[in-house]
Structure 1
């Protein structure tokens, strides 16, 4: 084929239109998925547009009806007159294969779209003014949008949405449980396309919570997790993951010795020597890690654009993403530095919220809260304490605050207790829960697991 000839299948286009003229029910099988602009010839677009209008009015789509519709709008001659319509009808024996013809037409249409995106990407490549990262992101988005066109429809009728909702109920469309019973009772779990903010003062256990939820998604739900660590290196995070795995509930049959995080640091510093049981456990843990679909990015200067790019790559490689973790928001660099940190952070939050919808995966973003809590008698964070930007309160689907009383009051009766305060739950209930927290390895467990009586 001549490379200058656009991909097109005129015969398939004619077969679709002929089938619509022949069989009054044929259009109902394709109208939801076949775009008018997918037809290459403008005449074919006008005929299909007329058929859609008639079908949606509950009227027949036969030769007479479409001829009258086009004639009333002075479009009949533009499509070739009744002669053209008669030719389409006479060449069609049956509409039984109209679905297959639709796929052929959409295939050629998407190829043409891809070529158009390619030309736009070439123009982007010649743009020496924009930053390279921005150019690469825009290029990826153009290709990604073509890939999504088969499924993506931003505006739908309630009839279509109701069908999709019912299918979700029947197929148990996933909302992923966190593994913390009390938290799941409030927010149910992580829903694809949502943004959850986990906030707290330093040393409240935010990273430990993120680690726990990461491991839960990878083990219970068998889904990939992409963890952006702007605070810790990959190795530091991996050591924490080792400690957690050594006490994690689903690995208890491995009979692992507890591997404390502080002992790992002291071993690396040459201050102590791990015993053989701990070494043997670490060997088993490394084998476990080899099968975990967890990916860690340690780029400390990453932007929202860079995060979006990495997410698309992992999603394309793995086929899905169960959770995206960003640790933490205040460390991120905005695309446009305005000089106002609150505005910049707001742009980052909005970008993550949009990304959650685009990738159709839940995002967990960690955030600091302001020092103002330190001056209060009750140091539990509130919405107004969210650091630097009220925009977080606006865009987040869920906002969870972490609090440990023993950090401020060492003699408290709430030793080893982690409180999670669900201050916002767009699709659930707000409330406060208490969990057991083992800081030495990052293990978190619901109090309901234990019977203290």
Structure 2
């Protein structure tokens, strides 16, 4: 097996390069999906990179231009000299078939990448000192990268980054507002590859906030969401979702009856059995919930690598992921090594890396320390985060939740939830004030 020639198509590579130099407009038809690494012959890779650089600088990719560029960058001799380029053009009749040839070259490249990944997975299998879940996750990542054409080299010349950044202005990679105006004024919205932490003391409404923002991503942007709940079961979350659906504005036209969060529990306990008219409304809510692109995982001992694996599967199925919710960080940080801060740091870094790898926004919930209880002003600060150092470092956004009525029952701020933006890597710090009804888990903008 090791003596076999790796998959390649030299003739197709030569025809593509000849076509690009023969017809300078041809490069626009392959530049978006044919990468330089796909060329099996190193010289061919250098020639194609030269053509791409010229194209991105707005210059022609004809024979003379490519020769001059390679010569100016001391690469002409390495690719075989002027005669190599002339021979490529001489053997090319036209660039008419370049669109069909590019996929052939990419296919051979991906096969080589798959062989490489397979060899790396074999070596991983022999690493018995590495825990099996980690080996399985790394193996899955390698195959996932090949199937999604994600290449190992991430170092690019700024001319490439510059064009990509400009093209992103009209691309399908926007930032998704939450629909809470004051919050969006601070953080703009959720962006792929970012980690947002919502932190607060118990009963501040962290899980309600996460559920509401998850539903907003689905309703406003039609994107799938996956929730990893280490605290509540799937059914408990489902009942909360029903309550939220019953009062959210998007379904007001259906005439749904408001369903309090504790209504199902009271029915199940036999305290207040559901009436027939309530069952009728719940049936409508169930029909709505059934169609939502929402996934829930309630595995109590789930790891970051397992979360990443589940996310990859959902993303492959749905094509895109709008938001990943993790409830909550401290439940994932095992204390087996006697250093909870170290474990929490690993979890936070892992989620941050996963957000970047999958290009998806991650929303993680976190507890804060009891220090606030001893202060006169009990509004949390970033330093109140449990093991705050690493969380402050890796998070793009840190939102601290505070409800004054929890500590001061007679406060004038009844039903007011403060979302304190303590850190906003790409936005502004400040406080977003919203209305919060814990009975239904609904959050609304203040008038």
By the TM > 0.5 criterion, same fold?
yes
1: CA distance, partners of 2:172 / 2:81: 50
Deviation at 1:152, TM superposition (A): 8.1
Query: Structure 1 residues 28, 243: closer, same or farther in 2, change over 3 A?
Result: closer
Deviation at 1:85, TM superposition (A): 4.9
Q: Is the 8 A contact 1:63 1:85 kept in 2?
A: no
Deviation at 1:119, TM superposition (A): 2.5
1: CA distance, partners of 2:267 / 2:66: 83
Q: Is the 8 A contact 1:33 1:150 kept in 2?
A: no
Alignment partner, residue 357 of structure 1: 356
1: CA distance, partners of 2:110 / 2:302: 32
SS in 2 for 1:366: strand
Alignment partner, residue 451 of structure 1: none
Alignment partner, residue 408 of structure 2: 409
Alignment partner, residue 367 of structure 1: 366
Alignment partner, residue 140 of structure 2: 140
2: CA distance, partners of 1:221 / 1:46: 42
Query: Structure 1 residues 401, 261: closer, same or farther in 2, change over 3 A?
Result: same
Map Cα deviations across residues 192-219 of structure 1 (whole Å, 9 max, x no partner): 1111110000000000111111111112
2: CA distance, partners of 1:109 / 1:301: 39
Alignment partner, residue 181 of structure 1: 181
SS in 2 for 1:387: coil
SS in 1 for 2:388: coil
SS in 2 for 1:192: coil
Alignment partner, residue 154 of structure 2: 154
2: CA distance, partners of 1:65 / 1:214: 51
Map Cα deviations across residues 305-355 of structure 1 (whole Å, 9 max, x no partner): 111111111100110000000000000146x96432112211111111111
SS in 1 for 2:262: helix
Q: Is the 8 A contact 1:187 1:427 kept in 2?
A: yes
Deviation at 1:163, TM superposition (A): 3.2
Q: Is the 8 A contact 1:40 1:109 kept in 2?
A: yes
Deviation at 1:4, TM superposition (A): 5.0
1: CA distance, partners of 2:133 / 2:37: 32
Q: Is the 8 A contact 2:47 2:66 kept in 1?
A: no
Query: Structure 1 residues 158, 130: closer, same or farther in 2, change over 3 A?
Result: closer
Q: Which moved more, 1:139-148 or 1:323-332?
A: 139-148
Q: Which moved more, 1:37-46 or 1:317-326?
A: 37-46
Deviation at 1:126, TM superposition (A): 4.1
Alignment partner, residue 317 of structure 2: 317
SS in 1 for 2:265: helix
1: CA distance, partners of 2:378 / 2:422: 15
Deviation at 1:262, TM superposition (A): 1.7
Q: Which moved more, 1:141-150 or 1:319-328?
A: 141-150
Deviation at 1:361, TM superposition (A): 1.1
SS in 1 for 2:377: coil
Q: Is the 8 A contact 1:373 1:380 kept in 2?
A: yes
1: CA distance, partners of 2:191 / 2:420: 19
Q: Is the 8 A contact 2:419 2:433 kept in 1?
A: yes
Query: Structure 1 residues 178, 25: closer, same or farther in 2, change over 3 A?
Result: closer
Query: Structure 1 residues 142, 289: closer, same or farther in 2, change over 3 A?
Result: same
1: CA distance, partners of 2:342 / 2:437: 37
1: CA distance, partners of 2:176 / 2:234: 25
2: CA distance, partners of 1:214 / 1:345: 24
Aligned-residue CA RMSD (Å): 3.2
1: CA distance, partners of 2:159 / 2:50: 22
Alignment partner, residue 394 of structure 1: 393
Map Cα deviations across residues 276-333 of structure 1 (whole Å, 9 max, x no partner): 2221111111111110011000011111111111111110011000000000000014
Alignment partner, residue 347 of structure 1: 346
Q: Is the 8 A contact 1:230 1:331 kept in 2?
A: yes
Q: Is the 8 A contact 1:55 1:61 kept in 2?
A: no
Query: Structure 1 residues 383, 13: closer, same or farther in 2, change over 3 A?
Result: same
Q: Identify unmatched segments of 5+ residues in structure 2.
A: none
Q: Which moved more, 1:296-305 or 1:10-19?
A: 10-19
Map Cα deviations across residues 160-205 of structure 1 (whole Å, 9 max, x no partner): 3343333333357421121212211221111111111100000000
Q: Is the 8 A contact 1:303 1:333 kept in 2?
A: no
Deviation at 1:263, TM superposition (A): 2.1
TM-score by length of 2: 0.89
Q: Identify unmatched segments of 5+ residues in structure 1.
A: 449-453
Alignment partner, residue 278 of structure 2: 278
Alignment partner, residue 14 of structure 2: 14
Map Cα deviations across residues 20-68 of structure 1 (whole Å, 9 max, x no partner): 4545665676567644442223554465567678889979763897599
Map Cα deviations across residues 127-162 of structure 1 (whole Å, 9 max, x no partner): 433222111100111112223446887334444334
2: CA distance, partners of 1:172 / 1:118: 32
Q: Which moved more, 1:232-241 or 1:260-269?
A: 260-269
Q: Which moved more, 1:437-446 or 1:160-169?
A: 160-169
SS in 1 for 2:420: strand
Q: Which moved more, 1:314-323 or 1:255-264?
A: 255-264
Alignment partner, residue 264 of structure 1: 264
